[in-house]
Amino acid sequence: MKLVRYGAFGAEKPGLLDANGTLRDLSGKVDDIAGKALTAASLAKLKALDPATLPAVPGSPRIGACVGDVRNFIAVGLNFADHAAETGAAIPAEPILFNKAPNCIVGPDDDVIIPKGSVKTDWEVELAIVIGDGGSYIAEKDAMAAIAGFCVCNDVSEREYQIERGGQWAKGKGCPTFGPLGPWMVTTDEIADVQNLGMWLDVDGVRVQNGSTKTMIFGAAYLVHYISQFMQLDPGDVITTGTPPGVGLGFKPPRFLKGGEVVTLGIEGLGTQKQNFVPYKG
């Protein structure tokens, strides 16, 4: 299934895409694509529905973040061997974890706001994991069963805040609008091999990232297992898993977003995003 949230920001409704790409309303079946609606039992009920019996959504509504009410937005740093190489960093012995602020999450095509005073706003196409049943101390062999699905994330980053301002990476990762998710969450049964998906990102129509999840240092199942050793993973938590090479920080000289750029990105089988980057005007 491809699960979608659509409508005005903060008032999104749940939906799904049928086999013909028609958006169908799930409001009569589930309150939101969030929390307990993402458990295996709940997803099984949704999969049993005949999409043709659901109301078609008219027009072309805004597509929101594909997961609502995210309480834990966990990110993994330097998790692609080729990205670590471009930054000159050593391969981590264990996953590097940090948090993105859950309230930075926006829809896949919403504007991204460059923060006040930013000089080093950067892009990162990433595979995101959406937790289903979750739990603590999940064995790696059981980790895929704990996942509800996958989606595209742009892990927008402010490198000066992240690297030069001291302390945790979170400073440069959780600014408002820095977490576009979607356009949809694809359930695990539709992804034959999550560790072999093409990934790409363009800035103003020029390809800057062109990679694959096959170069991830720590795969999706291992990350769920590993993170669950340190915290409880709950339904609807999101883990974004790192980026392939081609980020602005890796250019020589580095290249960053100033405002006015259009960024498009996507992952094989998971859809595409398109964002206008706009300067802060508050």
Number of H helices, E strands in the chain: 4, 18
One domain for residues 201 and 253: yes
The pTM assigned to this predicted structure is 0.97
One domain for residues 254 and 116: yes
Q: Of the candidates 161, 176, 127, 126, which has an alpha carbon nearest to the alpha carbon of residue 256?
A: 161
One domain for residues 39 and 88: no
**What are the tens digits of pLDDT across the range 119-156?**
999 999 999 999 999 999 999 999 999 999 999 999 99
One domain for residues 98 and 28: no
How far CA 214 is from CA of 82, 130, 139, 185, 271, in Å, comes to: 11, 19, 21, 20, 18
235 CA to centre of own chain: 15
What pLDDT, on the 0 to 100 scale, is given for residue 169?
85
One domain for residues 18 and 80: no
Residue 151 host element (H or E): strand 147-154
**What are the tens digits of pLDDT across the range 82-125?**
877 777 778 889 999 999 999 999 999 999 999 999 999 999 99
Parent domain of 226? 73-279
User: CA 226, CA 89: separation in Å to the nearest integer?
Assistant: 21
Question: Is position 163 within any domain?
Answer: yes
User: CA 19, CA 32: separation in Å to the nearest integer?
Assistant: 21
- Look up residue 52 and give its two tokens: 């043709």
Q: How many CA atoms lie within 13 A of 34 on its CB side?
A: 14
One domain for residues 47 and 161: no
Question: Is position 129 within any domain?
Answer: yes
What pLDDT, on the 0 to 100 scale, is given for residue 232?
98
Question: Is position 170 within any domain?
Answer: yes
User: CA 226, CA 54: separation in Å to the nearest integer?
Assistant: 39
Number of folded domains in the chain?
Answer: 2
What pLDDT, on the 0 to 100 scale, is given for residue 83?
79
| CATH number of the domain within which 241 lies | 3.90.850.10
Q: How many CB atoms lie within 10 A of CB 139?
A: 12
**What are the tens digits of pLDDT across the range 207-230?**
999 999 999 999 999 999 999 999
Question: Is position 41 within any domain?
Answer: yes
What pLDDT, on the 0 to 100 scale, is given for residue 84?
78
Mean pLDDT (whole number) for 184-198: 97
What pLDDT, on the 0 to 100 scale, is given for residue 251?
93
One domain for residues 49 and 115: no
- Which one is predicted more confidently, 87 or 192? 192
Question: Is position 141 within any domain?
Answer: yes
Helix-, strand-, coil-residue percentages of the chain, each rounded to 5: 20, 30, 50
Question: Is position 67 within any domain?
Answer: no
- For 172-193, letters b (16+ CB in 10 Å) and e give bbbbebbbbbbbbbbbbeebee
Cβ neighbours for 44, distance < 8 A, ≥ 6 positions apart: none
One domain for residues 159 and 205: yes
One domain for residues 154 and 267: yes
Question: Using an 8 Å Cβ cutoff, are 67 and 34 in contact?
Answer: yes
Q: What ranges make up the beta strands (E) of 213-247?
A: 238-240
One domain for residues 27 and 78: no
Q: Is 259 exposed, middle or buried (0-12, 13-18, 19+ CB in 10 A)?
A: middle
Question: Is position 58 within any domain?
Answer: no
One domain for residues 39 and 121: no
**What are the tens digits of pLDDT across the range 236-267?**
999 999 999 999 999 999 999 999 999 999 99
One domain for residues 83 and 36: no
Question: Is position 68 within any domain?
Answer: no
